[in-house]
Structure 1
Amino acid sequence: MAKLEINRRYFLNKSAKAGLGLVIVPHFNIIKSKPKLYQTVIGHGDFKYRVHKDWGVLDRSRTPIKNCHEMVMDSRGRLIMVGDDTHNNILIYDKSGKLLDSWGIRYNGGHGLTLWNDGSEDFLFICDTNGESLIKTTTNGRELMIIEHPSKYGAYNENDAFKPTESAIAPNGDIYIADGYGSNYILQFTKDGEFIRKIGEGRGIGQHQFQTAHGICIDYREKGQPTLLITSRATNCFKRFTLDGIFIEQIDVPGAFVCRPVIHNSNLYSGVCWSSETDFEEGDMNTHPTRTSPKSGFVTILDKNGKVVSNPGGVEPHYKNGQLQRMVQKDEIFKHCHDVCVDNDENLYVCQWNANNTYPMKLERV
């Protein structure tokens, strides 16, 4: 494990550039007109939203993006997004859509973004799938710790694939890494980066296996009993485990290739990257399925009991004899919803993958 104590402003000198290859790009505040108020309202039941498609649009010549992968809100109410454009991996917005800051030029696989507060300060955990690492930083870009390929800790063989897609931080600071594009294990480390255990049985459709363990979070909704909620995207479900890796239950969302689970108050939110009108055979359950419906992404919302209550951009959830029926896109608003962030007013901010370099959009709760 490599530990780095680096001052963000110090990156600009030549020694920092040579030693780390990490440079901070000065940000530009873009003067924006007020976003157009779209009349389109999507969603179902008590969870309906007005679409603000232009909310996060910036000057592409100064702040370009490829894929908007994930977004979190910090303790100051700022919205922090990670992407894979190395001009500016991190974009920091205010709630009006104004750019406040941008930094990071070396995370060319910038994918997962988790925020953790130790009681006094916010920290970010960035998964770099191409860099095969998890990086802990301050919110202004100072790197504090890097967890590298699991073979360095005795968890994998050197030739085992490792492409981390998401992380989650337990109440005691333990770090859980979802190896969603690699070997499909969950790896648990201490807050100091010491390896504890490997959770699951790798890729597959068994109870303890995952088909694209794309996302992970700590679910605190059951007081005194936090659990791990882990995505198995290609099998259209979330799986719940104890913090030490014991399987508890599976929550099926048929048709929906869900990304990471996001908990806000009593509900679970998730971006749906693809949706499918037909079942997949095991051989088709790869990282990026090829037989999905051309009508794909939407957002799905589940209540505390695991019941889908709304699908903004998708068909209305329907249960028949207690079984949730297949869910697909209805409104062609999204291309591939990769993440959803919920603010304190319960507005949603949606990040999209492979969506023609689309900036995040806002869904205003109505």
Structure 2
Amino acid sequence: MNLSTSRRDFVKTAATTLLAPSIITSVNAQPADGIIGHGSHRYKINADWGKLDSSKFPVKNCHEMVMDSKGRLIMVTDETKNNILVYDRSGKLLDSWGHEYPGGHGLTLWNANGEEFLFICDPNSNRVTKTDINGKVIFTIEHPSKVGAYKPEEKFLPTETTVGPNGDIYVADGYGSQWILQYSAKGEFIRKFGGPGDGDDQFATAHGITVDYRNKANPTLLITSRVHNSFKRFTLDGKYLSTIFLPGAFVCRPVIHGDHLFAGVCWSRLRYMNQTNNSGFVTILDKNDKVVSNPGGTKPEYRDGKLQMMVQDAAAVGGILMHCHDVCVDNDENIYICQWNAKQTYPVKLSRV
């Protein structure tokens, strides 16, 4: 997809929306059973799933969650009393650890031939830390100026990592200088690509990254460009391929589960098409990059093959979904939502129906 063409479509959509404000209000009032979503991807909201005693296990922002091989749900928060909370699927707390990540933000699980590791991104401390599954530090990736990739004055505020099929580590500097930095499995710098800007191969808030293995013969990188309301696809060596434009949706990291791509939407465009507080939802795309469901959002609509504006369906979410920062999908296709700036609330579960 050509991003400049997509922007023209976006302007047309925005103009239509401003002339017809009814489409940015609730289009699907919340049914009595509290079910949200569309088509075959519909869910029941359980806002009480992850609640804990906040005096013992507080959270600030529930940033991201992954599921390990034992089915444990591991979540990172920027609360240094317990940066990591480990749940079972019933919402029971199994473990907590971590006090050294004041900006605990990105959390990636890597299964290396049966041994599992975590990568924790902390933009506040300007570093990425690899740990074992219990939090023992293995090594740290620090400011890229140390390997000659940045000038010392360039900002490095990493938000996400992913690991390639050969063990290479990709770091998204989403709150910093907007580069994607590629390292070997040992943390040796290889290259950087992207950078700030509005070009097809550039980023505006490169917030998330993952390897898309759905085409097993040709895995690619999917990288968030949140201000562009987009995911951008690259080769594993950093060459731009295409853009998935998601008008209205400030998407966070892409999460692949089966044939589908899931993402939290931190904000949508409501009043005057601006980024609007407390307007998040979840979006789900099929293997052809088509949006098939927006739990908590308006029903996806395509006109002449072009996706129309997507926004929160406020009546359906009833104030429960505010800023959906990440999703984790379990083996039964239930979704666990981590929220940023959500009154220090715990994760929300969407049970598949």
Q: TM-score, normalised by structure 2?
A: 0.89
State the alpha-carbon separation in 1 of the partners of residues 161 and 45 from structure 2. 29
Q: Does structure 2 retain, via aligned residues, the 8 Å contact 1:295–1:328?
A: no
State how far apart, in whole Å, the 2-side matches of 1:166 and 1:258 are: 14
- Structure 2: runs of 5 or more not aligned: 1-31
Higher relative contact order (CA 8 A, sep 6+): 2
- Map Cα deviations across residues 174-223 of structure 1 (whole Å, 9 max, x no partner): 000000000000000000000000011x1111011100000000000012
The 4+ residue runs of structure 1 with deviation greater than 4 A are none
Tell me which residue corresponds to 1:96: 90
**Structure 2 SS opposite 1:275:** strand
User: What does residue range 207-246 of structure 1 map to in structure 2 within 5 Å?
Assistant: 207-246=200-239
Q: Which position in structure 1 is the counterpart of 2:184?
A: 190
Measure the CA separation in 2 of the matches of 1:120 and 1:234: 37
Q: 1:204-353 counterparts in 2 under 5 A?
A: 204-277=197-270, 291-294=274-277, 296-330=279-313, 331-332=316-317, 333-353=320-340
CA distance 1:161–1:279, change in 2 (3 Å): farther
CA distance in structure 2 between the partners assigned to 1:134 and 1:294 by the alignment: 29
Q: Which amino acid is 2:321 matched to?
A: F
Q: Tell me how far 1:279 sits from its aligned partner.
A: 7.8
Look up the SS of the partner of 1:301 in the other structure: strand
Q: Distance in 1 between matches of 2:276 and 2:272?
A: 11
Change in 2 beyond 3 A, CA 1:326/1:295: farther
The answer to whether the aligner puts 1:172 opposite 2:155 as a matched pair is: no
Aligned residue pairs, count: 318
Distance 2:83 2:278 in 1: 29
2:145 is paired with a residue of what secondary structure?
helix
Q: Are 2:329 and 1:360 equivalent residues in the alignment?
A: no
Q: Distance in 2 between matches of 1:80 and 1:317?
A: 31
TM-score by length of 1: 0.85
Aligned AA (2:222)? L
**In structure 1, what is the Cα distance between the partners aligned to 2:101 and 2:84?**
9
> C-alpha offsets along residues 233-265 of structure 1, whole Å, 9 cap, x if unaligned?
001000000000011100000000000000000
Identity %: 64
Amino acid at match of 1:324: L
Distance in 1, Cα, partners of 2:332 & 2:63? 22
For residues 266 and 191 of structure 1, the distance between their equivalents in structure 2, rounded to whole angstroms, comes to 27
CA contact (8 A) 2:277 2:322 kept: no
* 2:153 corresponds to which of 119, 134, 159: 159
C-alpha distance in 1 between matches for 2:256 and 2:78: 24
Distance change in 2, residues 1:157/1:279 (3 Å): farther
What's the CA shift string for 1:120-179, capped at 9, x where partnerless?
211000000101000000111100010000000110000000000000000111000000
